[in-house]
Structure 1
């Protein structure tokens, strides 16, 4: 029904204009809390959102098309850069290696501190998010729950975030730090104590903190706000609609190029290592030809795996990888020096924890050659994690819908890190035990000069070497496949515009990036192997540090909005709903009847049709009769089979009032091991939802009048929240989103005024 009042057109001459505003640059904005009208200065449409209501426009503003499509600007520029670099590396390998070596030395000397500070700030930020009150916020609505079981989820975290490079460095790293330590006497007791710890440090919390930062930011905006699953969406609170243009494309280009180089480096190290394993197992000649053949074989397997999707391919490979890696570690532990390895593991973890702050901030400024060591080790790994950050972060977000921020961060920086520690410690200490007595200097030299040979040389020293080498080669292959599969999927996503977070890039696009990554891998192998890969990773990861700072600023801004909303809610009591206000008042007979009532899907559907829908229809009609812009929509719910009813009262300049009645499946309580009903093990409730999740109570059994009263209670709570927001005028609060001239700005109506108008 149309509003009763007549709205007069207001011209710029009718009122004073806010000082500094062009009188001709004014738009008319009708805001109905009843029949209120106001005038606001026009604002920059591209500016960053400053409130939750503006942030809620993100899905519409960022998604120009409903379906997934290729972002040709990102795709073309990124592909051109990678092809040009690959051709340079293959046609002028010596020149490429020399130029990158000089550039890396300059970065290590002049910007090493910047990489170190960036990683420290990222660690502090994600820990602060996890243990703040906002750590309870979910990657999705408040009522969302995880898609994957804990073991499967952790396995996928580990498989995507750790590549075959960890096996490569688990032997050469500790041996190098023992023979050539950065700040101790070579082959001393002090060098031995730190040898494994340095490698644990490089594969520890720092990398996973970067993954956590980008993963939780992308997942939060995608699943809680309905934006695309991308880095540009995570920067929407900072850049506004500009992320849809050139600025957003530049961000995706940097992230995509860094991802390709990070994955190519892992692939290159992987084929160098697997080259030795396949040569040992199948008596094949080692060399570049076999490495290129392995790249081609791996690409075919990667394409097959990525086309099967996350659920079928990557999940199965991740779980299998966990079990094989565990079997390999158990075999080495049992057949090797068991007591020494266990004692060393405990010592290594203790020393890691005790020296973590000092080690994290160490730049070796006072050590001769400190910049060289930093560039070859710590800075390379930090750059490696930065390069992998966007791709692993996006993949982790993709599999973590429904997890809380605290659960996401704590799991990411503990479970996979502990797995890393076990692998590094067992391999590293097994290698150290061979060289610490000085009995086998040839093995130490081999592990430093030819790490891939050193790794397999260590495996040959155990009983049943053929079985262990076969198992280790299979484990390395699965490490490689998991990273390559998830990498191809993420590259396709970065080069696409995908409004739906559940979708992925086109299959042909994943195949293209798998092939291009293989080309880059071969190019870097030709140009100098692992060393050139390290140089390229450190160089191309630098722009990602800027992205990390932007994401931290953007995410902290939106978390302030979450805090403002929480603080604006009415203090919860036992009889209070989740987001403020009282739960519906029931008679004692209704309460008693509900204690043993476990309605079926059919009963709930009838209740919604006969009670809830008429009540919401009456309220919506009355809202419109009073001059409000109110809508009532009906949407199917495929999970429960009961249509959802959603009442929305639109409030321009403020967050809309949102009241949704939806069926929810629940388990029937059990007493003595038996369900309390004689039917199914599940029953259905009709819960009330707001924009951020469930209110936590059931409407079943209420009358139409009680449902109407509940709508008004929720509306009162909403107005109280808006009034609180206006009284606590923080920049990030959900307050009116535009500056208004003092003499024209309306006040938020009182609860009594609105309720009185509706009851009349």
Structure 2
């Protein structure tokens, strides 16, 4: 198999950068029209193809576990004598850090409360609504998320390390395209990938900065404004760009370690002071319901409008992230077997996320009952402050409040430096260790794109960007369905 990219290897870089620039220019010059256009596209896709988003994730799940349980599961992601590059703990922290971004911190309190007040079925504000709300949160942040990331990561790791192809999404399609992966079709696949990555991570940067700015206003009274949000974005950009430029074994590992240990510390603290028995009861009940109805809720469309707004939205959002998260977890998984990869990637981080949600969501419900509805009131007033309002009901608020800001920054930085690193790989012809200059370019670009949009259009511009990113996930979802066929076709030729 040839992996030469020739003089065309910068095509993806130039075209992707140009598309990003054009989108930003149009968003600045015509923000209202851009918002309407992206909204219309999003409404069309979710309204007419919501079923396909749900069904696609089901196909990814069948493909992954079918391969893992088969004889192909013993195949190494690399040569037969390759050894893992990272220890098990280092591997886990980077797996978790690449895929768990702002969303988990932002929604861990807010989402259960939203569904508790307005469930898709039944009456809100009841014990049944509470159990349903937690199960919905488990469904949105649990195993399905990591199934999406894992199918992409498995295909990439197999073709990169087993077959010696470049670290590019297009490489996965070698079984059906052959050397044409180096031509226009392959370049188009990689450009779509870069587009989804740029706007997916820029949106998260904007939303994360908005939560930090709101937190600073709530905690210290510092007014939240587009300028303040832009300043927060600039500081976060410097942090994750420097981490990315240092490489996998230095600051990127440090960021992942800080994030995982701080996450564990917060979980332990909230577990101890947020109603331990209540959390355990709620978690146990919800986990049972979640596992019992796993297949059914994967494909549930009983309330079409609600499904489009929540499960379909989340599936599309994770597909938008799958390119860079999958590429990153592939990069750090060389030397693992397929079976080890599938079960570790889909179950370990997902299990951590479920425990996280059980603790945060359980504490929120417990404290809401103790305070006569303070958490519900916070969610109704401003979703971005719900975490800080919850912490305020617990001891040591003067310490936990600023540490929660650090956690948000670390949560974003862990995902953002993974994205900048992968963008460097995708736009350098598939280099496994892209130059620090190229990674830094993409880190600065991600920050600059978000800052410009916030300064011109405020949070409304970020929401337009989010909509565009999710709409852009539709063609990548089709690419991922093609990946399922390609990985199966390639494995069928292995001697096991």
TM-score range, shorter chain: over 0.9
Equivalence for 2:483: 551
The one of 353, 359, 370 equivalent to 1:420 is 353
Equivalence for 1:63: 4
User: Is 1:506 matched up with 2:435?
Assistant: yes
Q: Residues of 1 paired with 2:80 and 2:439: CA distance?
A: 33
Q: Residues of 2 paired with 1:84 and 1:530: CA distance?
A: 16
User: Is 1:178 matched up with 2:116?
Assistant: yes
The one of 299, 303, 319 equivalent to 1:361 is 299
The one of 325, 331, 337 equivalent to 1:392 is 325
Change (3 A) 1:529 1:348: farther
User: Is 1:81 matched up with 2:19?
Assistant: yes
Q: Residues of 1 paired with 2:314 and 2:449: CA distance?
A: 20
Q: Residues of 2 paired with 1:217 and 1:419: CA distance?
A: 24
Task: Give per-residue Cα distances to partners, 1:417-458, cap 9 Å, x unaligned.
Answer: 011111112111222234458922x64243145211122111
Equivalence for 1:431: 364
Asked if the contact 2:101/2:415 (under 8 Å) is kept, the reply is yes
The one of 80, 86, 95 equivalent to 2:33 is 95
Equivalence for 1:3: none
- 1:70 deviates by 7.8
The one of 266, 285, 291 equivalent to 1:347 is 285
Equivalence for 1:460: 392
The one of 409, 421, 425 equivalent to 1:493 is 425
- 1:96 deviates by 2.4
The one of 293, 310, 331 equivalent to 2:269 is 331
Q: Residues of 2 paired with 1:76 and 1:475: CA distance?
A: 35
Asked if the contact 2:131/2:282 (under 8 Å) is kept, the reply is no
**3-state SS of paired residue (1:147):** coil
Change (3 A) 1:98 1:311: same
Equivalence for 1:580: none
Asked if the contact 1:524/1:532 (under 8 Å) is kept, the reply is no
Equivalence for 2:310: 377
Aligned residues: 493
Asked if the contact 1:199/1:424 (under 8 Å) is kept, the reply is yes
**3-state SS of paired residue (2:165):** coil
Asked if the contact 1:89/1:523 (under 8 Å) is kept, the reply is no
The one of 82, 106, 117 equivalent to 2:44 is 106
**3-state SS of paired residue (1:413):** helix
TM-score (norm 2): 0.95
Larger RCO of the pair (alpha carbons < 8 Å, separation 6+): 2
**3-state SS of paired residue (1:420):** helix
Q: Residues of 2 paired with 1:375 and 1:524: CA distance?
A: 26
**3-state SS of paired residue (1:311):** coil
Asked if the contact 2:242/2:440 (under 8 Å) is kept, the reply is no
The one of 467, 471, 483 equivalent to 2:415 is 483
Equivalence for 2:191: 253
Change (3 A) 1:504 1:537: same
- 1:399 deviates by 0.6
Q: Residues of 2 paired with 1:187 and 1:435: CA distance?
A: 11
Task: Give per-residue Cα distances to partners, 1:706-737, cap 9 Å, x unaligned.
Answer: xxxxxxxxxxxxxxxxxxxxxxxxxxxxxxxx
The one of 244, 269, 286 equivalent to 2:207 is 269
**3-state SS of paired residue (2:85):** coil
Q: Residues of 2 paired with 1:101 and 1:241: CA distance?
A: 38
Asked if the contact 2:200/2:466 (under 8 Å) is kept, the reply is no
Map 1:709-748 onto structure 2 (within 5 A): none
User: Is 1:532 matched up with 2:470?
Assistant: no
Change (3 A) 1:461 1:530: farther
Unaligned runs of 5+ in 2: none
User: Is 1:521 matched up with 2:453?
Assistant: no
Equivalence for 1:278: 216
Asked if the contact 1:380/1:534 (under 8 Å) is kept, the reply is no
Change (3 A) 1:524 1:198: farther
The one of 76, 81, 106 equivalent to 1:168 is 106
Q: Residues of 2 paired with 1:396 and 1:84: CA distance?
A: 30
Equivalence for 2:255: 317
Equivalence for 2:378: 446
Q: Residues of 2 paired with 1:533 and 1:125: CA distance?
A: 32
Equivalence for 1:239: 177
Q: Residues of 1 paired with 2:42 and 2:155: CA distance?
A: 30
Asked if the contact 1:139/1:401 (under 8 Å) is kept, the reply is yes
- 1:198 deviates by 0.9
Determine which structure has the larger helix proportion and give its number: 2
Task: Give per-residue Cα distances to partners, 1:401-424, cap 9 Å, x unaligned.
Answer: 100000001001111001111111
**3-state SS of paired residue (1:402):** coil
TM-score (norm 1): 0.63
Asked if the contact 1:276/1:453 (under 8 Å) is kept, the reply is yes
Q: In terms of Rg, which structure is larger? A: 1
**3-state SS of paired residue (1:144):** coil
Task: Give per-residue Cα distances to partners, 1:678-703, cap 9 Å, x unaligned.
Answer: xxxxxxxxxxxxxxxxxxxxxxxxxx
Task: Give per-residue Cα distances to partners, 1:176-234, cap 9 Å, x unaligned.
Answer: 10111112212223211111211111111112112111111111111112211211111
Equivalence for 2:342: 409
Q: Residues of 2 paired with 1:449 and 1:283: CA distance?
A: 17
Task: Give per-residue Cα distances to partners, 1:484-529, cap 9 Å, x unaligned.
Answer: 111101011111213x6xx322322222222222233235542516
Asked if the contact 2:119/2:129 (under 8 Å) is kept, the reply is yes
**3-state SS of paired residue (2:119):** coil
Q: Residues of 2 paired with 1:415 and 1:539: CA distance?
A: 29
Equivalence for 1:35: none
Asked if the contact 2:267/2:356 (under 8 Å) is kept, the reply is yes
Q: Residues of 2 paired with 1:333 and 1:530: CA distance?
A: 34
